Amino acid sequence: MSDRTYELDRRHVFHSWSAQANLDPMVITKAAGSYVWDGQGNRLLDFTSQLVYTNLGHQHPRIVKAIQEQAATLCTVAPAYANSARSEAARLIASHTPGDLDRIFFTNGGADANEHAIRMARLHTGRHKVLSTYRSYHGGTQLAVNVTGDPRRWPNDNGSAGTVHFFGPFLYRSAFSASTEEEERDRALAHLEQVITLEGPGTIAAIMLESIPGTAGIMIPPPGYLQGVRELCDRHGITLIADEVMAGFGRAGKWFAIEHADVVPDLLTFAKGVNSGYVPLGGVAISDPIYRTFADRPYPGGLTYSGHPLACAAAVATIETMEDEGIVEHAAALGDDVLGPGLRELAAKHEWIGEVRGTGVFWALELVSDRATREPLAPYGGSSPQLAAIVAGCQRRGLLPFTNFNRVHVVPPLTITPDEAREGLEILDQTLTEVAGKVPSVNC
């Protein structure tokens, strides 16, 4: 069975972001909670939440049941009609978004949520430019990938009219030669202010930021940075769009990561964790002033599946489970008590962990070949034999790791137990020890 799955995949499936010819995809045959099973029947602890979205783990019975019940009642209905799953999902999301972000436009995922947020900001302000950071990811569609600040933009960088990139704060690899969090914050804000001045404040519709940049490295902004960005936006009439596609819905130990900074954006985009990714869903939470722009003037945008009942039923079950089971508190405690301390212990032991950073169930290890120079263990945009060996070693020991360039991200489901989390850290520890002993170019 899994042999045929593999064979058909190789013959007919065209995969994302990849050179197709030499792909060797792992077949996944089943999944439960924090684990998946491969085609050979091996069980692996999922330290990836797939693409950082199965926040409540695999096959959560309440979400599965909600989808089954919705399928039996009303599988689908066009966006113009009201239906209970969509209404209730919108209410629940609005009950957790900060401030006045109380109107929800549903999309199919994160990229189109960001596209629509930018469209709303452009129409609301009458301006066209969008500022976003290097070291960010906002999605794979044309505008979203042009706003993105990672190498996936490079081959797609031909629709970038009006997109401008700036440096966000990242003390470990400071673009501002800063040596403290305060310096990094102040210099990053001064840099952004200059970019705004030089681009022309009257041309800038929006600043789009991941509240905590995710795929780019889980860089927690220094205290005061997001407040500073909010203040710059207010001063210049710029819309602040918080991309919470990865960091939202409990991942960062709060319902939304921007709550760490106590800032209310004008638009907030979400996807992934909103329904643990069981059925594709994303959306934009809209503040009152932007809602009012479209109160009497049509919003020129829409999708066939906006607020699809199956996806919304999964969102209702996900959010209710998160509320009932204290999942956000659990995520915060996992970060404080298990993942943070456990990863710092690993760093004390393995010289080639240059930095540990994160919060909640959202952590990154920055791997370096030299702690003093911070030389990354794989080049920006690339991989290395060491990183490949880490992936292989973890998988052999029963752990599915998330790696990106020179980093290992620790992003299991929010429902992982402390013992399961420790089991994963133990496998990482063993693998790092093994790889350091075997790969000659590790110079630590």
Of the candidates 119, 80, 168, the residue with the CA atom closest to the CA atom of residue 284: 119
| Window 276-315: contact mask with ligand PLP (x via CB under 6 A) | ------x---------------------------------
Query: Which one, 16 or 158, has the nearer CB to ligand PLP?
Result: 16
Among 210, 259, 355, 420, binds ligand PLP (CB under 6 A): 210
424 counts as binding ligand PLP under rule CB under 6 A: no
Nearer to ligand PLP among residue 51 and residue 264 (C-beta): 51
* Burial of residue 140, with CB atoms counted within 10 A of its CB: 0-12 exposed, 13-18 middle, 19 or more buried: middle
CB of 214 to ligand PLP, least distance (A): 5
Q: Does 138 bind ligand PLP (CB under 6 A)?
A: yes
Name every residue whose Cβ is closer than 8 Å to that of residue 178 and which is 6 or more positions away in sequence.
171, 184, 187
Q: Which is nearer to ligand PLP, 81 or 154 (CB)?
A: 154
Q: How far is the CB of 305 from ligand PLP (least distance, A)?
A: 13
Helix axes 418-438, 385-396, angle to 10 degrees: 130
Q: If 0-12 CB within 10 Å is exposed, 13-18 middle and 19+ buried, where does residue 19 land?
A: exposed
The residues, any chain, with a CB within 8 Å of residue 97's CB and separated by 6 or more, are 255, 256, 268, 285
Question: Min. distance of Cβ 52 from ligand PLP in angstroms?
Answer: 7
**Chain position whose Cβ is nearest to ligand PLP:** 110
- The Cα 192–Cα 196 span in angstroms is 6
Find where tokens 């792909």 sit.
Answer: 23
Give the residue from 259, 262, 273 showing the smallest Cα distance to 327.
Answer: 273
From 33, 139, 250, 413, residue interacting with ligand PLP (rule: CB under 6 A): 139
Q: Number of residues interacting with ligand PLP: please give it, by CB under 6 A.
A: 16
Min dist CB 117 to ligand PLP, Å, is 11
Range in contact with ligand PLP (rule: CB under 6 A) among 39-47, 106-114, 127-135, 403-411:
106-114
Q: What's the min distance (Å) between Cβ of 248 and ligand PLP? A: 9
CB of 97 to ligand PLP, least distance (A): 16
Angle made by CA atoms 107, 131, 214, in degrees to the nearest 5: 60
- Look at residues 75, 420, 114, 378 and name the one whose alpha carbon lies nearest to residue 272: 114
Region 211-240 residues binding ligand PLP, contact defined as CB under 6 A = 214-215
Which residues are CB-contacts of 355 (< 8 A; sequence separation ≥ 6)? 172, 347, 364, 365, 366
**Contact status: 115 vs ligand PLP (CB under 6 A):** no
The tokens describing 423, both together, are 């089991």
Residue 182 CB, shortest distance to ligand PLP, in Å, is 26
| Position 51 contacts ligand PLP (CB under 6 A) | yes
* φ, ψ (nearest 5 deg) of residue 7: -60, -45
Q: Own/partner pairs for 87-91, CB < 8 Å, 24+ apart?
A: 88/312, 88/316, 89/307, 89/312, 89/313, 89/315, 89/316, 89/319, 90/307
φ, ψ at 375 (rounded to 5°): -60, 120
Binding mask 245-274 for ligand PLP (x = CB under 6 A): xx------------------------x---
- Identity of the residue, 165 or 350, whose beta carbon is nearer to ligand PLP in the bound complex: 165
Q: Considering the complex, what minimum distance in angstroms separates the CB of residue 152 from ligand PLP? A: 10
To ligand PLP, the closest distance from the beta carbon of 268 in angstroms equals 12
Distance CA 407, CA 405 (A): 6
Q: Candidates 44, 111, 143, 192: give the one binding ligand PLP (CB under 6 A).
A: 111
**In terms of CB distance, is 106 or 352 closer to ligand PLP?**
106
> What are residue 179's phi and psi, to 5 degrees?
-120, -5
Give the footprint of ligand PLP on this chain (CB under 6 A): 51, 109-111, 114, 137-139, 210, 214-215, 243, 245-246, 271, 282
